Amino acid sequence: MMTNINIEQANQKAIDEFMNARPILVGVEKAVDVIPGMHKNLYLHAGPPCSWERMSGPVKGGMIGAIIFEGRAKNAEEAESILSSGKIEFAPCNDYDASGPMAGIISPSMMVFVVEDKNSGYKTFSGMNEGRGKVLRMGAYSEEVIERMLWLNNVLAPTVDAALKAMNGLDIRTLLAKALHMGDDGHNRLDAASLLFTNLLAPHIIRTAKNSTDAADVVKFLGENALAVLNPVMAGCKTMANAAQNIEGSTIVTLMARNGTDWGIKVSGMGNQWFTAPAPVVKALYFPGFTEKDACLDIGDSVIMETVGIGGFAMATAPALVTFIGGTPRDAINTTLDMYEITYGEHKNFTIPFLDFRGTPTGIDIRKVIEKGITPRVNTGVAHKDPGIGQVGAGVVSAPMKLFEDALVAFAEKYDI
Amino acid sequence: MMTNINIEQANQKAIDEFMNARPILVGVEKAVDVIPGMHKNLYLHAGPPCSWERMSGPVKGGMIGAIIFEGRAKNAEEAESILSSGKIEFAPCNDYDASGPMAGIISPSMMVFVVEDKNSGYKTFSGMNEGRGKVLRMGAYSEEVIERMLWLNNVLAPTVDAALKAMNGLDIRTLLAKALHMGDDGHNRLDAASLLFTNLLAPHIIRTAKNSTDAADVVKFLGENALAVLNPVMAGCKTMANAAQNIEGSTIVTLMARNGTDWGIKVSGMGNQWFTAPAPVVKALYFPGFTEKDACLDIGDSVIMETVGIGGFAMATAPALVTFIGGTPRDAINTTLDMYEITYGEHKNFTIPFLDFRGTPTGIDIRKVIEKGITPRVNTGVAHKDPGIGQVGAGVVSAPMKLFEDALVAFAEKYDI
């Protein structure tokens, strides 16, 4: 009985921490300079821990691209020989307070968005967003991919950093709250959030850029990239999730992440322990010329959005998203309604106009997942299974039940229930 | 029988013209240089024709501000004496291919947005948008109002004009179609459309502005103004409406407009004839400190949006709008569903995600209005009834039935039905 009461209190505290966190995007810095523990031979990736041998195609492709980007190899063969030599250390972004979309590669010289929690001062990180098409995060590493990464690092990053400093930071939670009233789910559809982001930055970019060519190029790139704000939003959601970590007795999920091989979750009351299961196939709409045969298994850290109550959980805000990921507007509403079944509370800052401004379902409770037999539903992009290709579609996927079963068994053991 | 068939064909042609019109925002020019028939003593206003004596407070206030803006008077007393002298000619914007929000004042020296129909080359016009608060279009004319008007004329207008020319025009229909999938109704809520507008312009503004201060100021003003694109959209909708004018035998409404004294409509098959009725009171949410006692009667040309199938007709796309105008998301959906009852067709370019991407109700048929006993529903701002004050609220209003009764009687007489 005593134990039960503590779980409820702990869970309420966990979702309060999600909701009270105040992520502010404060700048763009070099990963090795700003991520605690980062060093020249450490390469981060999405999802739970994974050896080179077990890595999915997109993560391998992203690693190859990163080694070339770092100037340590001229081509894929050279890169692979370094990557498989044992000289390079691989680790999850999430174990370094970072969050990376799809393959989620962060290498030491990459510039990363820095988000600071206004309450605690705690920092979280995410890389630059490359837009859609042939991109490193989908496992592509051709010359055009590396060239764009270099432009992002050398031009976009310092330009945006100067603007962010001039405007004294950008409030990610406020931006998301607005975007959810503008047809975004906050994960796969960030059209409105990216426009808001660009519009807030633009006057400061104009005033602080080295020259008007850089200013125009950066504003154009951000304005045309419907995912321009994806990475800052991921770092922002990581801030929220971090705030709810390590609450004794809480059954709330504080992390979900996949790497194209495994899914992993963490649970607040279970500290830093990963629970993992094989990554599932995504039910997707494929781009012309591709089918499910080409698809990598589920991949990416962007499921941090669903962890804190947006993305698939807020799909009722984003009926137009179905044109990209499949299904009908009714499915979108039903997805949100289902997620109320497995969450502990409703978000006080993120609301859904069409459900009479009801708060989004927030805080996945592993007890409810098991009890209801419903696992978290996620919107996601789909990468090609082979390195070097890129995105092939987008769709929806449900987390494997095994994650929650294992976590609940471990929880019961730890707390002697 | 023959007559009936012609009406159906004529009405189909009318809504096809609405939908096929392709308004492109091509530039910003001085009213007297670009509006055919404009001259130094002609002052345009919203709604149907109106003498100085019968003008509502906001139109009088806007006229006073315009005379001061033109440098023909130093204060309100001097302005009123000129305005009541008989030297100034007053006319509806709509009789000069223009469309003005609220009081809708266009004076000869004001810069106006120029929209060109890609199909016909026909041009339509609308003034600069001043943002929310104390503004000329709500009847305010204090020094800060005139100063902002001068900045809009001297800095914003040429800066945006240069950008529009560099980008070869901006497609209003495409912008609206996107915004309707981002929680805008296209009339009272233009948050997404204004962000899209600013984002499309910004890189070109940066490249073509006289200096980076102007560029930053203009991008900031547009980016912070949730109605930045209201006037270009009104001119765009006027283009669509004009395309459907004067179709022999059509019972489709091609114009609705109010001036705070009267409502007026025109009907395609009835040429240039105005049908008018007293303007109704708006059912509104009032700003703090104001009540219905302070409200001007219904006013403005922005009901051109509803005329072509957006605004109140597309409210099901904009559930978050109810926080501004009152009611519930369910009311918003019901408004759209009601409007299908009195319209001839469904828009092929403007669709509503939540109604399974159904086209918006398009083309008000005066026969259906009478038959169903339902008149067009409109989202609107509310101005103070006295000159010199400004906006006091926002809400919804239904057009007076008399307009449609008179129009149908006249139609039956003309066509001998």
> Can you give the pLDDT at residue A259?
98
Asked whether residue A400 is domain-assigned, the answer is yes
Q: Which tokens is A87 given?
A: 């000289």
Q: What is the number of domains present in chain B?
A: 1
CB contact under 8 A, A354 and B353: no
Nearest to B354 among A196, A329, A357 (CB): A329
The model's pLDDT over A232-266, given as tens digits with 9 standing for 90+, comes to 999 999 999 999 999 999 999 999 999 999 999 99
> Which residue positions in chain B have pLDDT lower than 50?
1-2
- Taking all residues of chain A, what is their mean pLDDT, rounded to a whole number? 96
> Can you give the pLDDT at residue B1?
42
> Can you give the pLDDT at residue A324?
83
Is pLDDT of A118 > 80? yes
Nearest to A181 among B196, B320, B353 (CB): B320
Sheet of strand B391-398: strand arrangement? B283-286, B391-398, B377-383
Q: By C-alpha distance, which of B141, B108, B105, B104 is closest to B41?
A: B108
Give the rounded distance of the alpha carbon of A272 from its chain centre.
18
User: What DSSP line would sit under B110-129, residue for residue?
Assistant: SEEEEEEETTT--EEEEE--
> Can you give the pLDDT at residue B133?
79
Q: Which tokens is A186 given?
A: 């906050």
| Distance (Å, whole) CA A274 – CA A283 | 25
| Distance (Å, whole) CA A66 – CA A341 | 41
User: Domain residues for B288?
Assistant: 246-414
> Can you give the pLDDT at residue B2?
46
State the virtual CA torsion across B213, B216, B217, B219 in degrees, nearest 10.
150
Q: Which residue has the higher pLDDT, A2 or B42?
A: B42
The model's pLDDT over B295-325, given as tens digits with 9 standing for 90+, comes to 999 999 999 999 999 999 999 999 999 888 8
> Can you give the pLDDT at residue A1?
42
Chain A residues within 8 A of B193 when measuring between CB atoms: none
The residues facing B269 across adjacent strands are: none
Backbone angles phi, psi at B282, to 5 degrees: -90, 135
CB contact under 8 A, B320 and A182: yes
Determine the average pLDDT of the residues in A397-416. 97
Backbone angles phi, psi at A342, to 5 degrees: -115, 10
Asked whether residue B375 is domain-assigned, the answer is yes
Asked whether residue A94 is domain-assigned, the answer is no
Q: Over the range A63-85, which residues count as b (16 or more CB within 10 Å of their CB) and which as e? A: bbbbbbbbebbeebeebbebbee
The model's pLDDT over A20-73, given as tens digits with 9 standing for 90+, comes to 999 999 999 999 999 999 999 999 999 999 999 999 999 999 999 999 999 999
> Can you give the pLDDT at residue A34?
98
Q: By C-alpha distance, which of B322, B327, B23, B374 is closest to B185?
A: B322
Residues of B at the A interface (Cβ-Cβ below 8 Å)?
Answer: 181-184, 191-192, 195-196, 198-200, 202-204, 206-207, 212, 215-217, 219-220, 223, 319-320, 322, 328-330, 353-354, 356-357
Asked whether residue A117 is domain-assigned, the answer is no
Compute the Cα dihedral for B410, B413, B414, B417 and give only its sign.
positive
Which stretches within A254-328 are classed as H helix? 304-307, 322-325
> Can you give the pLDDT at residue A4?
54
Asked whether residue A103 is domain-assigned, the answer is no
Task: Give residue A3's pLDDT band: very low, low, confident or very high (50, 70, 90).
Answer: low
| Distance (Å, whole) CA B93 – CA B238 | 11
CB contact under 8 A, A354 and B319: yes
CB contact under 8 A, B329 and A206: no
CATH (domain of B373): 3.90.1700.10
Asked whether residue A257 is domain-assigned, the answer is yes
Q: Answer yes or no: are the C-beta atoms of A333 and A316 closer than 8 Å.
A: yes
Asked whether residue B66 is domain-assigned, the answer is no
The model's pLDDT over A369-384, given as tens digits with 9 standing for 90+, comes to 999 999 999 989 999 9
| Distance (Å, whole) CA A351 – CA A362 | 11
Question: Secondary structure of A146-176 in the HEC alphabet?
Answer: HHHHHHHHHHHHHHHHHHHHHCCCEEHHHHH
The ipTM (two decimal places) reads 0.94
Pairing of strands B42-45, A89-92: unpaired
> Can you give the pLDDT at residue B4?
54
The residues facing B259 across adjacent strands are: B299
Is pLDDT of A5 > 70? no
Asked whether residue B204 is domain-assigned, the answer is no
DSSP state of B155: I
Nearest to B202 among A182, A191, A202 (CB): A202
